[in-house]
A = this chain, B = another copy of it.
Amino acid sequence: MTRPAVRIVGDSAPLRRLSALTRLDPTARDALAAAIAEQRAISAQRELIREGAEIARPMLLVQGWAARARILPDGRRQFMSFVLPGDLIGECRQPRPIASSSVVTLTDTTICTPPPGAHFPTLAEAYAISGAVEEAYLLAHITRLGRMSAQERIADLFLELRERLDLAGLTNGDTYALPVTQETLADALGLTSVHVNRMLQELRRQGDLRWQQGQVQLLHSDRLADRLGRMPVKVSAAD
């Protein structure tokens, strides 16, 4: 008896990511796989969660990209973080949580409902670690926006995305798919799309970066990481 053919290419992103965060027991893995099997499609530019509304139930992003966003009264937009495959949305400890930001899909996506942590202890731990990792990335984003130049912000974000996508099994060496527009990057990095464009060109000219057909390649990621003081995010000594 062989496993189904589809499994040969590897587990889905959420399964890879959450097992990488902590060791999942077989029960948890099965529950997770079952939940993922129930995934449903959501098209791009949909609002998954509205800021200020009560979060009905948490979600788990299976495929595609989303972002946490806030809009100012005059229309300025800020993306606070990218939500990548395997990331949880609205997983909270407290009862009846209110969303502190909107979450919008950036691409066509599929999502599912994560198995309740209360029933699967190792999953609960994975959710906890996932939350801590997410907070670490928020801190990194604050440092980017507060103290880095435009070019550094882009390089630093690209390094972060590589690190995160790698955990979900979505990189190929130093190359990964970046399915967003320069305008979206600008709204994440606190810049204008015009300036993002110019700085991307400079990074390419310097030989640090390639970005063709939606695939990003980081040429000297070690050197970049050094210069920016980036350390791989680690939130638990138990790993």
18 inter-chain pairs at a CB distance below 8 angstroms, sorted by A residue, are A68-B139, A72-B147, A80-B139, A92-B132, A94-B132, A94-B236, A94-B238, A95-B238, A96-B237, A98-B234, A98-B235, A100-B139, A100-B233, A101-B139, A138-B139, A138-B142, A142-B142, A145-B146
Contact with B along A78-122 (1 / 0, CB 8 A): 101000000000001111111011000000000000000000000
Of residues A54, A93, A101, A129, which shows the largest number of chain B Cβ atoms within 10 Å of its Cβ?
A93
Are A97 and B136 interface neighbours, CB within 8 A? no
Copies of this chain per assembly: 2
Tally of chain A residues near chain B (CB < 8 A): 50
Which residues in chain A, 142-185, are within 8 Å of chain B measured between CB atoms? 142-143, 145-148
Please tell me if A190 contacts chain B, counting CB pairs below 8 Å: yes
Q: Which of B70, B188, B189 contacts A139 (CB 8 A)?
A: B70
Q: Which residue of B lies closest to A68 (CB)?
A: B139
Chain B residues within 8 Å of A146, by CB: 78, 145, 188-190
Given contact pairs A54-B237, A142-B142, a sample of 19 additional A-B residue pairs in the complex whose CB atoms are under 8 Å apart: A52-B231, A68-B139, A72-B229, A73-B227, A73-B229, A77-B147, A78-B147, A93-B128, A93-B132, A94-B129, A94-B235, A95-B125, A96-B236, A97-B237, A98-B237, A100-B235, A101-B139, A142-B145, A146-B188
